[in-house]
Structure 1
Amino acid sequence: MTINMRDYHTNDAASVAALISPVFRAGDTYAVDADMTDAQALAYWTGGEKRVFVAEDDGQLLGTYYVVRNFKGGGSHVCNCGYITGDQARGKGLARLMLAHSLETAKSLGFRAMQYNSVIATNTRAIDIWTRAGFDVIGRLPEAFLHPVQGYVDALVMYRKL
């Protein structure tokens, strides 16, 4: 794979919706309504102050992430990100590439830290990737997420200074 990371453009909308909607519908990694339409999912992913990127290989979108300030005012120096890797690219290092790109992007945007507010404890692949990249678990929210298969599971707060 030769991955090109670039800014999201509105002509990517259908491809990004095709990546994110199945993940949201699965209901096991993001605390969003699982019954969102593609348009609602896309509006959530690309809306507000989010800066959205796509990862493509030979014109095919394989993943996407966003970066956004986590809080306003005095917390504006901490960002938050969301990542989704398409099925065809899982296990091939794309999540690590998007993470590395997001860390550099966050620094270039002036953020001093990155925080994930609700990492579902059953999402062990993501937790492993982020831990290896220097993120610490700074909080655990007991049974904060209703997993569609495993029932109530913990959510983690993860943090890293940039």
Structure 2
Amino acid sequence: MRIRRAKEEDFKEIWPIFKEVISKGDSYVFNPDTSMEDAYYYWFGEGIKTYVIEEDDKIVGMYKLIANQPDLGSHVANASFMVSLSHQGKGFGRKMGINCLKEAKKAGFKAIQFNFVVSTNTGAIKLWKDLGFEIVGTLPKAFNHMELGLVDAYVMYRFLDDIQL
């Protein structure tokens, strides 16, 4: 496993993972027919730092790091993660999560906030709790799960003061 900063040409490997993850309609708000252009902007838009995780020189997941809010809220980061379905549950998300915490602290952020963690995404919730995040809010019936209908989403938060670089 190797994590590195993404290059624009990596999008050709990021795009199929993005499509695969959103097609399930169970963890991201994106419509399954989201355009390639919109996906590209999500990962490589202004102010976004994107990282990829590779196995055998093949990208199997990615995360992005960005300020959660501008100006007076810019000391809190936001991040999003995706792992290809065939690589989920094998530690790639955890490795990226740990790397993200370190990169966020290096960048000067004081905390990380996840704005929208789907309540039925139990693997992600367990991972983030294991990495020190807390659920600080519940958004009732905020996500329209493609199989379960309306389910809650969580806001999760973690300070970075204990992260060792």
Please, what TM-score do these two structures have when normalized by structure 2?
0.93
Check if 1:152 corresponds to 2:150: yes
**1:91 is paired with a residue of what secondary structure?**
coil
Any residues of structure 2 matched to 1:104-143 within 5 Å, and which? Answer: 104-143=102-141
The separation in 2 between residues aligned to 1:40 and 1:73, in whole angstroms, is 25
Q: Is the 8 A contact 2:20 2:84 kept in 1?
A: no
Q: Does the Cα contact within 8 Å between 2:115 and 2:154 map onto a contact in 1?
A: yes
**Among residues 12, 18, 38, which one is paired with 2:10 in the alignment?**
12
Give the C-alpha shift of residue 41 in structure 1. Answer: 1.5
| Identity value in percent | 37
Whole-Å Cα distance in 1 between the matches of residues 8 and 151 of structure 2? 36
How many residue pairs end up in the alignment?
160
- Provide the aligned C-alpha RMSD in A: 1.0
Range with greater deviation from structure 2 (20-29 or 73-82): 20-29
Gaps of 5+ in 2: 161-165
1:103 aligns with 101
Q: TM-score, normalised by structure 1?
A: 0.95
Q: What secondary structure is seen at the aligned counterpart in 1 of 2:11?
A: helix
The match for 1:29 among 16, 27, 30 is 27
Q: Could you tell me which of 27, 34, 50 is aligned with 2:48?
A: 50
Deviation of 1:23 after TM superposition, in Å, equals: 1.3
* From 83, 86, 92, the counterpart of 1:85: 83
Structure 2 CA distance for aligned equivalents of residues 38 and 21 of structure 1: 9
Which residue identity lines up with residue 108 of structure 2 in the other structure?
Answer: G
| 1:7-44 deviation digits (Å, cap 9, x = unpaired) | 11112111000111121232211112331123321222
* Pairwise CA distance, 1:152: 0.4
Runs of 4+ in 1 over 6 A off after TM superposition: none
Does the CA contact (< 8 Å) of 2:65 and 2:78 recur in 1? yes
Q: Which amino acid aligns with 1:128?
A: K
For 1:80 and 1:57, the matched residues in 2 are separated by: 25
Amino acid at match of 2:83: T
**1:64-85 per-position Cα deviation (integer Å, ceiling 9, x unaligned):** 0000000011110000000001
| Distance in 2 (alpha carbons) for counterparts of 1:21 and 1:41 | 9
Cα displacement (A) at 1:4: 0.9
Stretch moving more, 27-36 or 79-88:
27-36
Runs of at least 5 residues in structure 1 that lack an aligned partner in the other structure:
none
